[in-house]
Structure 1
Amino acid sequence: MRFPTNLWGSELPSLSLRIKESSRVGKWLDVLSHYREMQRYGVEPSDPSVYPLILKACLNLSSRYGKPMHAHLIKQGYDSFASIGNSIMDFYLKCGHLESALGAFHCMQNRDSISWNIIIYGHLNQRVVEEGLRWFNKARVARFEPNTSTLVLVIQACRSIGAYSEGLEVHGYMIKSGLCAIDSIQNSMLSMYVDIDLGSARKLFDEMSNKDVISWSVMIEGYLKSEEAEIGLKLFRVMVSEDGIQPDGVTAASVLKACGRLKDIHMGKLVHGVVIRRGDNDDLFIGNSLIDMYSKCKDVGSAYQVYREMSRKNNVSWNSILSGFVLNERYSEALWLFNSMAEEGVEVDEVTLVNFLQICKYFVHPSQCKSVHCVIIRQEYESNDLVINSLIDAYLKCNLVDLAWNLFNGLKGRDVVSWSAMIAGLAYCGKPDEAVRVFSEMSKTQEKPTVITIINLLEACSVSAELRRSKWAHGVAIRRDMAADVAVATAIVDMYSKCGAIDTSRKVFDKMPQKNVVSWSAMVAAYGMNGLPREALALLPEMKLQGLKPNSVTTLSALSACSHGGLIDEGFTFLKSMVNEYGIVPVLEHYSCVIDMLGRAGKLDIAMELINQIPDGLKVGASAWGAFLSACRSYGNSELGAGALSHVLELEPKNSAGYLLGSSMYAAEGLWENAMRMRRLVKERGLKVSAGYSLVHVGNRACRFVAGDCSYPGSQEINIMVEQLHSCMNIEEGIHFGVLEC
């Protein structure tokens, strides 16, 4: 039953108000309910502004209500109103129906700036970028006025597709229109220029009269992403100290990342202070960034303190501090943390597994590597290249060569990291022939070796100590245009020195276009290794003349050269002058080297005195006591040697070297019971014994003499010759040496 219009008309304004009120509070069902109530009595709202609200209700409830509403508006002739036509377009665009929105736009009799803004915004928002830019150009011809949000989207569109010329045109349009003073538009333009042309971005940035935190952040992050982190950090310092603008969380995290990359802990601490002042220290993302920064700056203590003080932690937090311990070679703490993760029920992911494999590799835990392999299979990480390559590396470092081979051969797609890991691992396991064979196999594939691959190949040739093969590897580096790389050239210097070709080492060193501290250290070590200690020492003042300061490794190599070359006085003097002349405080390794030097010269009392004088905070390690024990064995002093032996066995109970040194020392003095006790302990504890060997170059071959091996053809004749030599030297009979074919 239809009521007369004149009876119902008095209620129309009330229902229209109800529609508006329901729309304001988001009661969309009520909006449609009030409208249907009007339709039941055959009347329409007299106020056209009600229809956009009804369309909005359709959008929020179900898009299927929208099309009938559109048809009804066309029938009633309301689509001629620009505001209603705009609402129809907005409805279709928000429903994802771009074509329907375009149809509505083309049917509109009256278009305004909002109409153009909606259609451009719709294209760009739905990532139809190039078409959206074309619509923007059409709109400019039609002389419409874009709003700020549309302009920001247009600029972002130019940025996303790298449309530099279109971006310049938009910039020119905004200058003419006087819109450049709007902060959001300025920052959008700055973001576009940062991606396209950092120089133009800096020019725009310098011209900006009103720089907010977004402006500074965009410019700083632009420098950080463009590998110009130093400039980015300088700009950050100006932002905080001179302009007094506090960074937001994203900028702080980006700057912390750059500090870690540059090892700039001073700036990192400045950012940390800013974070605390802002009260962002509870922010999980920033907390994780701080852990990463401190770890990369070699301050794992501060990284752990940040970790402990975090009120919330996630997997990234645990993995960040675990990575920090591993990166700083704090493997015992890393192992403890990994066990804590298991106790806390933290989920293990690929980052955790890669770090734990590094721990297994350091402690040489074959069984743990196998356990990790099981976890990898269970959690389906077998297709993760980083995890599998880490597992191959760990297997090889734990001497599980067969398992590494099986894993490597089972890879469907081997990348350069896989090949490099296999080459490095085989060289580490003393299998240089296999390492070279793997490189040759890699050369037949499409995979191109990197600098790391070439360095691994050179290391394999160093292990084999064959001059011909080393020259071949040098040629490979030259053909690959990598011989001039400072790391590769340094590896070549080291390789030739281990082949005994010290003159070739020096030639390569002299021809290096660039040298760093590592290069000089390698040359110093090369001279020491080849019995030329005076030449090694002569390199240090030469190095200073080149503007390079020796580091701990350089000075350790010089001390080692003195030790093996018998330059006792020079070595002792050098140790005393390290602080004054080179600014290097001796560490335990330096003292161990000098103790070894004194021991070799039979100066056991002075060596013992030096051990007692080692500064507080430097705990005398197994290397120092081992060197002293070796000297006691050589000079028949089992009284001092017994004390050194107890320290060695306490510090390294799983290393067979100490037991064998002790056994040899006792045997030399006829204390057979003590000698046998040391041998029994080796067997009872299942320790692996690695035989010592010497290399002798015969022609182009490096023959390896290994104690106790008689498998080499002609070993009997060689043993007879050795026995005769022993007899001539009055060495006790019964000690025999054999050879192993190279």
Structure 2
Amino acid sequence: MDFYMKWRFPDSAVAVFDDCICRDSVSWNIMIQGHLDHGTLGEGLWWFYKARVAGFEPNNSILVLVIQACRCLGAYYEGLQVHGYIIRSGLWAVHSVQNSVLSMYVDADMECARKLFDEMCERDVISWSVMIGGYVQSAEAFSGLRLFRQMVSGFKNEPDGQSLVSVLKACTNLRDLTMGRMVHGLVIYRGLGCDLFVGNSLIDMYAKCKDTDSAFKVFSEMPQKNKVSWNSALSGLVVNEKYSEALSLLYSMGKGVNEADEITLVNILQICKCFVHPMECKSVHCVILRRAFESNELVLNSLIDGYSKCHLVELAWKLFNDVKKPDVVLWSTMIAGFTLCGRPREAIAVFQEMNQAQEKPNAITIINLLEACSVATELSSSKWAHGIAIRRCLAEEVAVGTAVVDMYAKCGAIEASRKAFDQISRKNIVSWSAMVAAYGMNGLAHEALALVAEMKLGGLQPNAVTTLSVLSACSHGGLVEEGLSFFNSMVQDHGVEPALEHYSCMVDMLARAGELDIAIDLINQMPDNLKATASAWGALLSACRSYGNTELGAGATSRILELEPQNSAGYLLASSMYAAGGLWVESSGTRRLAKERGVKVVAGNSLVHVDNKACKFIAGEKAQSHPRGSEVNIIVKQIHNCMRFDEGNDFLGIFE
């Protein structure tokens, strides 16, 4: 019987067992343990109950195996029966049996497990580890840490690697970096730094607590690494948006013997998205196909998202169509992908297909749909999307409500935007910032400033995003004095240190108002750790064109072309400035330089609404090339006919 069981011929073992006239405890042990060891747990439990009927008295090792089988099968009722037998048979005092029963209760009922744990006369390190791990798995990390403190203080138990892994997981869930560092010290004190599982848990804890330097240090000092180690370090850098460091680590990983798995490929796709590397994204797709990972939902979602972010939305759509039954995550990813690539109508069409497929959207899906409507800037579609959010009972969620506010603002419906804002029951700082930005983008700078005061009365302090929205509103509304006053009081009144975006916005505001000298002084006075971006120099250059300051504009041009040599906007602005000043040689030279560098000129466009539909007209496009171009052309001629210049008046615009 033992021979057949160990060679995985259970039928032959059963035949020998049936032929046995006298069956002793060894016979029953072989049959029970053989089935349980081979993973046929149901059969093993059946043999155990059959043995009990025959009067067989199991030993400690068999009882441990039977309890583990009940735990793996989720057979809680059968486990209770075994527990009752253990108490009646007087075997409860055996530590291995106690810990096995405790492990079973931890998976089923933490209250019963805690009661059992408290009744145990002697608890070894396994007992403590089981309870701590149970609390962490049950999302009761605080209770797990409290029990760990009792373990190492009051009861003088030395934790092992398993208990420390559970404690580090609790620190990770709570984002408790201080406690995590203390546990790290205990790991070093106990000499467990070479434990692979402990090392991987330390990397994960530091990474998710946003201490990537410590995570990488632990990773570097590990004497032995496996795939989990590499993936934990790589994921930590990606999650904390340190993509350049993640790329360097990826190259190091490629030189080793570690072969990329699904988690590695997902992280690589995240890096491809960040740097917008379409060819690398295709290379990862090839690896996915070679290793047959395309059936993995996480990998497939990441690949479709990666193609979308790399502006290869057609490939993403082809992959999506090959999926037999896409889930809500895939639908949401595809909607977001079309929106990102400037194809909002296709994004809305995908949502309509999702409805036809009777797939229930979640909050992320609705937010992506609202974003698509805001890009399309069609008020009718926006109202339709808002209605869907209401019917799905998702409009009350703060994230969805904030997206509605932003959508209406981008459609120019500021009253609808304010109404949606007022309907958000629990507004957070993001909601307030969105409404401030809504007023700003619609030219209502005074209302934006008033809303900040209203927000402060409600007990919320503006953050960096809110203050940036206020400065942008002042810039577009021409409120220079108010903008300067707000900027100078940011640190004192709001506790916000001006960042690069705030300085760029201030330069734009001053340049629009013709305060070019003050704008250039502000750029020169920026802190050493901040350098003016191309957008700031671009705002200054645009103002130099408007106010005829070619000398200052020439300096701004050199900075822009240095920072963004492949962006056509700087060349066009500079050429236009030189032409306005009569410097035709410099103007043509700038255009020639752009041509020599192979800069692709992106034409400007105008967006007008006709019958609640947005129509885009590209600069230089003939009216006949647009479906409704002839109608717009007639309207433009009528407007021109209604405009007249009177001598003595700068301009009178009369629309009859």
Q: TM-score, normalised by structure 1?
A: 0.77
Matched residue, 1:151:
63
CA contact (8 A) 1:246 1:274 kept: no
- Alpha-carbon distance, 1:431 to partner: 1.0
- Alpha-carbon distance, 1:435 to partner: 1.1
Matched residue, 2:207:
295
- Alpha-carbon distance, 1:462 to partner: 0.8
Q: 1:311 and 2:223 equivalent?
A: yes
Q: 1:360 and 2:272 equivalent?
A: yes
Instruction: Tell me which amino acid in the other structure corresponds to 1:226.
Output: S
Q: 1:507 and 2:424 equivalent?
A: no
- In structure 1, list runs of 5 or more residues that go unmatched: 1-88, 731-742
CA contact (8 A) 1:710 1:716 kept: no
- Alpha-carbon distance, 1:458 to partner: 1.2
CA contact (8 A) 1:659 1:678 kept: yes
Matched residue, 2:630:
713
Deviates more, 1:528-537 or 1:450-459: 528-537
1:574-602 deviations in Å (ceiling 9; x for gaps): 33333344433332222222222222222
Matched residue, 1:629:
541
Matched residue, 2:653:
none
Q: 1:332 and 2:249 equivalent?
A: no
SS at match of 2:630: coil
Q: 1:185 and 2:102 equivalent?
A: no
- Alpha-carbon distance, 1:487 to partner: 2.3
- Alpha-carbon distance, 1:282 to partner: 3.3
> In percent, how many aligned pairs have the same letter?
65
Structure 2: distance between partners of 1:305 and 1:123: 46
- Alpha-carbon distance, 1:381 to partner: 4.2
> 2:510 pairs with 577, 598, 601, which one?
598
- Alpha-carbon distance, 1:330 to partner: 2.6
1:124-156 deviations in Å (ceiling 9; x for gaps): 334443454455455556665432222222222
SS at match of 2:614: strand
CA contact (8 A) 2:129 2:166 kept: no
Matched residue, 2:576:
664
Instruction: Tell me which amino acid in the other structure corresponds to 1:263.
Output: R
Using a 3 Å threshold, how does the CA distance of structure 1 residues 415 and 567 change in structure 2: closer, same or farther?
Answer: same
CA contact (8 A) 2:476 2:509 kept: yes
CA contact (8 A) 1:287 1:306 kept: yes
Matches within 5 A, 1:612-691: 612-691=524-603
Instruction: Tell me which amino acid in the other structure corresponds to 1:502.
Output: I
- Alpha-carbon distance, 1:432 to partner: 1.0
- Alpha-carbon distance, 1:174 to partner: 3.2
Structure 2: distance between partners of 1:90 and 1:407: 53
- Alpha-carbon distance, 1:279 to partner: 2.8
Using a 3 Å threshold, how does the CA distance of structure 1 residues 140 and 390 change in structure 2: closer, same or farther?
Answer: closer
Matched residue, 1:220:
132
Using a 3 Å threshold, how does the CA distance of structure 1 residues 323 and 99 change in structure 2: closer, same or farther?
Answer: closer
SS at match of 1:430: coil
Matched residue, 2:193:
281
Matched residue, 2:311:
399
Matches within 5 A, 1:440-589: 440-544=352-456, 548-589=460-501
CA contact (8 A) 2:437 2:448 kept: yes
- Alpha-carbon distance, 1:425 to partner: 1.4
Structure 2: distance between partners of 1:214 and 1:235: 13
Structure 2: distance between partners of 1:671 and 1:721: 36
Deviates more, 1:315-324 or 1:431-440: 315-324
- Alpha-carbon distance, 1:483 to partner: 2.7
Using a 3 Å threshold, how does the CA distance of structure 1 residues 631 and 338 change in structure 2: closer, same or farther?
Answer: farther
CA contact (8 A) 1:264 1:297 kept: yes
Using a 3 Å threshold, how does the CA distance of structure 1 residues 137 and 310 change in structure 2: closer, same or farther?
Answer: closer
Structure 2: distance between partners of 1:276 and 1:305: 14
SS at match of 2:497: coil
> 1:160 pairs with 69, 72, 80, which one?
72
Structure 2: distance between partners of 1:481 and 1:638: 57
Structure 1: distance between partners of 2:573 and 2:150: 62
- In structure 2, list runs of 5 or more residues that go unmatched: 624-628, 648-656
Structure 2: distance between partners of 1:461 and 1:285: 47
Structure 1: distance between partners of 2:151 and 2:569: 59
Using a 3 Å threshold, how does the CA distance of structure 1 residues 375 and 238 change in structure 2: closer, same or farther?
Answer: same
Instruction: Tell me which amino acid in the other structure corresponds to 2:179.
Output: M
Using a 3 Å threshold, how does the CA distance of structure 1 residues 193 and 535 change in structure 2: closer, same or farther?
Answer: farther
Structure 2: distance between partners of 1:90 and 1:728: 109
CA contact (8 A) 1:92 1:100 kept: yes
Using a 3 Å threshold, how does the CA distance of structure 1 residues 244 and 165 change in structure 2: closer, same or farther?
Answer: same
Structure 2: distance between partners of 1:251 and 1:634: 69
Structure 1: distance between partners of 2:587 and 2:212: 44
CA contact (8 A) 1:318 1:341 kept: yes
- Alpha-carbon distance, 1:192 to partner: 1.1
1:187-206 deviations in Å (ceiling 9; x for gaps): 22221112111222233233
Structure 2: distance between partners of 1:514 and 1:369: 40
Instruction: Tell me which amino acid in the other structure corresponds to 1:626.
Output: G
1:347-377 deviations in Å (ceiling 9; x for gaps): 4444444333333333333344344444444
1:434-480 deviations in Å (ceiling 9; x for gaps): 11112212222254333322221111111011111111112222333
- Alpha-carbon distance, 1:675 to partner: 2.9
Structure 2: distance between partners of 1:682 and 1:254: 60
Structure 1: distance between partners of 2:643 and 2:523: 35
> 2:346 pairs with 431, 434, 437, which one?
434
Larger radius of gyration: 1
Q: TM-score, normalised by structure 2?
A: 0.86
SS at match of 1:702: strand
Using a 3 Å threshold, how does the CA distance of structure 1 residues 350 and 717 change in structure 2: closer, same or farther?
Answer: same
CA contact (8 A) 1:426 1:435 kept: yes
What RMSD, in angstroms, separates the aligned Cα atoms of the two structures?
Answer: 3.4
Structure ranking higher on relative contact order (CA contacts 8 Å, 6+ apart): 2
Instruction: Tell me which amino acid in the other structure corresponds to 2:328.
Output: V
Using a 3 Å threshold, how does the CA distance of structure 1 residues 221 and 640 change in structure 2: closer, same or farther?
Answer: farther
SS at match of 1:713: helix
